[in-house]
Amino acid sequence: MTLTPPPLRNDCFSLPAGVDWTPVDEALALLRDRVRRVVPSESLPLTKALGRVLAADVIAKRSNPALPNTAVDGYGFAGAVAEGAHVLPLVPGRAAAGLAYEGAVPAGQAIRILTGAALPAGVDTVILEEDVTLGSGEIAFRGPLKQGANTRRAGEDFSRGAAVLTARRVVTPADLALAAAAGVSEVEVYKPLRVGVLSTGDELCEVGEVAAPGQIYDANRPMLLALLRQMGFLPVDLGRVSDDRAALRARLNAAATEVDVILTSGGASAGDEDHVSALLRESGALQEWRIALKPGRPLALAVWNGVPVFGLPGNPVAALVCTLIFARPAMGQMAGTNWLQPQGFELPADFAKRKKTGRREYLRARVRDGQVEVFKSEGSGRISGLSWAEGLVELGDGALAIHPGDPVRFIPYDSFRL
C-alpha cells in the first residue's frame, strides 16, 4: 500500500498515428488509460482525513445500531398487541440513551423508554408517548401494534465487519460521521498530490506590482493555485518565468524534484515565443494534443524528468476549461481517486445558439429561475465571464441548433469542486 509506482514513460502521452483533431472523449480515455497513481499512502487520525483519498476500505468495528434501541420516546413492552384497548402496569425506573436498564421487563408489563435507549430484556416493541394515557403506575393505549414497532434493529444501518467506505473515495464530512459511528479512529489515505503551477510569458507581472504599458497581470497562477487547493491537491507555487528557454528549463528541472505534476500556462502553441512547447519538443517529450474543443488550443502534454507536465493555454478562460476537463480527472487518478466525472444536469436553455459539427464547446453559464443563461460573449479573453458564471454548459461534438427552452447540459462549478 505504501509503495510508489514508477514514473510514467516519456512517450506515454503519444496519440495514435493519423489522428488530427482528437475528440474530447477520446482524449479523456487516453489520459485515463495512461495516467497512474503516484502518491504513497499514510495512516491518519479520522479528524485529519477530510478531503483525503481513501487508500483502503473502511471496515466497521461495530454495528450501527450496536444494540436494538427505540426510535421514539414512549413505553416499551413485548409485542405485538391486538386491536382494542390495553392497560399495562409500569415497572419502576426507565431506560434512557446511554443508561442501560439492568433488569428485565416481565411479560404483560411496560417500561418508560427514551429515544436511543437500548431495548431492555423483555422489550421488543415501543408505543409513542403521544398515543398513551398515563395513569398512576400504568398506561392505557389502543392496539393494534406490530411487534418491533418504533424500534431499530441492531445493525440495520450497517454491521460490524462491513466496508462502510470504499478505497479511492474522497472523504466528506458525512464520511467522518459514518466512520466515527463505525468506531473507526484511524484511516489509511493517500498523501496529497503535489501540483506545481508555473506561469510563462514576458508580458506578465505580479499582482501588486505596477504594470507597465503592454504588461498584464498574471491571472492564471492565483486562479490555478486556489483551484488546486479546493480540489484537494497540494498546490506548489512555481512562480513566473519569462519567455526564456534556459530559465524555463532550470525551473522545470528544479520543480520535477519537488512536485508530482506540473501545470504551466502560456507558451503552449507553436508561435515564436511559445517556449514551453518548444522546450518540451526539444527534450523529445512533447505530445501536442490537438483536441476538438472550444475554448482551448493544443494541450501540450509531456513528461519532464518523470513528472507529467500539462502545458495549458495562456488564456485564462481556456486554461480553466482545460484544467477542469482534462487536468482534473488525470490529477485525481494520480492522487488515487477513481476517474472523476463531473455531474451535469439537463436544464432548459434561455438562449439560442448554433454550432457546427466536429468539436465540443463549453460555455460560461449559470442557472436563474430553472433556466440556463450563458455569458454575453464567448470571447476567450473575457475573464469577467469566468467569474460571472457558476458553471459550464457542455455542447456535444455534433452540429446543434439550440432554441430557448431546449434542454442543455449544465455542469455546476461545484461538480468540479471549483
Minimum CB distance to ligand AMP smaller for 75 or for 289: 289
Question: What is the CB neighbour count within 10 angstroms for residue 47?
Answer: 9
Decide if residue 120 touches ligand AMP (CB under 6 A).
no
Is residue 216 a contact point for ligand AMP (CB under 6 A)? yes
Nearest to 288 by CA among 311, 266, 255: 311
Tell whether residue 267 is a contact of ligand AMP (CB under 6 A).
yes
Name which of ligand AMP, Mg ion, none residue 260 binds, using a CB cut-off of 5 to 8 Å depending on partner kind: none
Given Mg ion, ligand AMP, none, residue 316, with its beta carbon under 5 to 8 Å by kind, binds: ligand AMP
The distance of closest approach from Cβ of residue 268 to Mg ion in the complex, given in angstroms and rounded to an integer, is 8
Q: Which is nearer to Mg ion, 266 or 391 (CB)?
A: 266
Query: Which stretch, 102-110, 121-129, 312-320, 401-409, contacts Mg ion (CB under 5 A)?
Result: 312-320
Q: 198-216: buried (b, 16+ CB within 10 Å) or exposed (e) per residue? A: bbbbbbbbeeeeeeeeeee
Q: Tell me the C-alpha distance between 310 and 299, whole Å.
A: 7
Q: Which of the stretches 39-47, 106-114, 134-142, 216-224 binds ligand AMP when contact is defined by CB under 6 A? A: 216-224
Nearest approach in angstroms of CB 314 to Mg ion is 5
Q: Is 199 in the site for ligand AMP (CB under 6 A)?
A: yes
Footprint of ligand AMP on residues 18-77 (CB under 6 A)?
Answer: none
C-alpha cell of 208?
501588486
**For the CA atoms of the chain, what is the radius of gyration?**
30
> What is the C-alpha to C-alpha distance for residues 21 and 264, in angstroms, rounded to an integer?
22
Q: Decide: is 203 part of the binding site for ligand AMP (CB under 6 A).
A: yes
Q: Is residue 219 at the binding interface for ligand AMP, with CB under 6 A as the rule?
A: yes
| Burial (Cβ within 10 Å: 0-12, 13-18, ≥19) of residue 357 | exposed
User: Minimum CB separation from Mg ion for residue 266, in Å?
Assistant: 4
Q: Which is nearer to Mg ion, 311 or 391 (CB)?
A: 311
Residue 313 interface partner, choices ligand AMP, Mg ion, none, CB cut-off 5-8 Å depending on type: ligand AMP
Secondary element (H or E) of residue 262: strand 261-265
Which of 31, 248, 268, 299 touches ligand AMP by CB under 6 A?
268
Task: Kindly identify the residues of this chain, within the stretch 308-327, that bind ligand AMP according to CB under 6 A.
Answer: 313-316
Examine residue 235 and tell whether it contacts ligand AMP (CB under 6 A).
no
What would the grid cell of residue 116 be? 436511543
C-alpha distances out from residue 251 to 204, 205, 245, 254, 391, Å: 17, 17, 10, 5, 33
Q: Which residues bind Mg ion (CB under 5 A)?
A: 201, 266-267, 314
